[in-house]
Amino acid sequence: MDERITFYPSKRTGTIVHIALMLIFSAAGIWGIWGVSTVQMAPQLLPYLALIGLFLVTVPYLIYHLYALHHSAYILERGGITLQWGWRSVTLPVDQVKWVYRDIDLEIPPRPPALHWPGSVTGVRKFQRGPEVEFLASRVKRLVIISASDRYYAISPLFVDEFISTYLDFVELGALQPLPEESIQPTLVLSEISRNRLTLGIILAGGLLNISLLIWTLLVIPTRESISLGFRPDGLPRLALESVRLILFPILSSSAFLANLVLGLFMFRNPENRALAYILWAAGILTALLFLIGLSLIL
């Protein structure tokens, strides 16, 4: 028998749901940007800005959950169990695992987290008769519940019966040495960034530049009825547009900054790719500077 066997959650349905949601919210964001480029009065901006804000918040969130789904695994060894879900990882030594049951075998199965959807059933929920249950699953049914020393874990291996039988086989064989206990939270990446002055400085600089661009734009729009975006080949100013169109500058700049920030976070986790993370974050600063320069030239 192999000393290490890996099981995976079902991913097809979750992948389809995540991609569909990202397409919907991306379409809403594109519609919002199109609407901003066509409005003629500032009050008309509000619904379109709401759509853009919804896009900026939800799409990076969904990207991480899709990434977590495809970087998930449940690993059984004689020394214990390792659960991996995106940036979350926990290793349970065999001597701390009390039992492993199907959810239907429990008198009262744990309820899933309040916010969940296919492919992302994650979070912590209080068990009715016991400690907290941490969900690292892609579905709400056909779960495997693991009781450890301090809490329960709910997982969704594709082959439930095979997972439990393999665990029992390893228990019968016995462990030569239990695995070292380990618990890695996604927040550890953010904590490491906050302790790194260079990294934190680059991210804050990009954020402050985008905030400055937004404030400057909002101060300029009420003072001008129209603006001209450059000159024609014959040297005459281009046709004047409503000044409210300037709001596209901070929107596009902030979108680029947020995209580089999220991609940089993925790169930063691997020490070998941290140079790429710095390049992405520096590109966010450069983009904001170019928009600021462009705004100053227009004015």
Given the structure tokens 């959650």, which residue do they identify?
9
Which has more confidence, 101 or 178? 101
Domain end position, chosen among 185, 205, 222: 185
74, 220: one domain: no
163, 33: one domain: yes
Identify the domain containing residue 287 by its residue range: 186-299
The answer, as to whether pTM is greater than 0.75, is yes
Q: Which of 148, 173, 183 is nearest to 3 (CA)?
A: 173
- Which helix (H) or strand (E) is 182 found in, with range? strand 182-184
CB atoms within 10 A of CB 161: 11
pLDDT tens-place string over residues 52-85? 888 888 988 999 999 999 999 999 998 899 999 9
Pairing state of beta strands 182-184 and 88-93? antiparallel
The confidence score (pLDDT) of residue 25 equals 92
User: Phi, psi at residue 181, to the nearest 5°?
Assistant: -70, 135
pLDDT at 158 over 80: yes
Query: Per-residue DSSP letters for 117-170?
Result: BTTBEEEEEE-TTSSEEEEEES-SSS-EEEE-SS-EEEE-BSSHHHHHHHHHHH
87's CB contacts (< 8 A; 6+ apart) are: 68, 184, 185, 186, 188, 189, 269
CA distance 51 to 29: 5
174, 234: one domain: no
Q: Tell me the β-bridge partners of 157.
A: 9
Are the C-beta atoms of 245 and 228 separated by less than 8 Å? no
- Which helix (H) or strand (E) is 80 found in, with range? strand 80-85
- Which helix (H) or strand (E) is 26 found in, with range? helix 12-38
Encoded tokens for 262: 């999220």
Q: What percent of the chain has pLDDT over 90?
A: 33
- Count the domains in the chain: 2
Q: Which of 154, 22, 143 is nearest to 83 (CA)?
A: 154
Domain end position, chosen among 146, 168, 185: 185
160, 53: one domain: yes
279, 218: one domain: yes
pLDDT at 171 over 70: yes
pLDDT tens-place string over residues 204-226? 998 899 888 888 888 877 777 66
CA distance 253 to 206: 10
256, 179: one domain: no
Ramachandran category for residue 230: left, alpha or beta (phi over 0 → left; psi -120 to 50 → alpha): left
pLDDT tens-place string over residues 117-137? 999 999 898 876 668 899 999
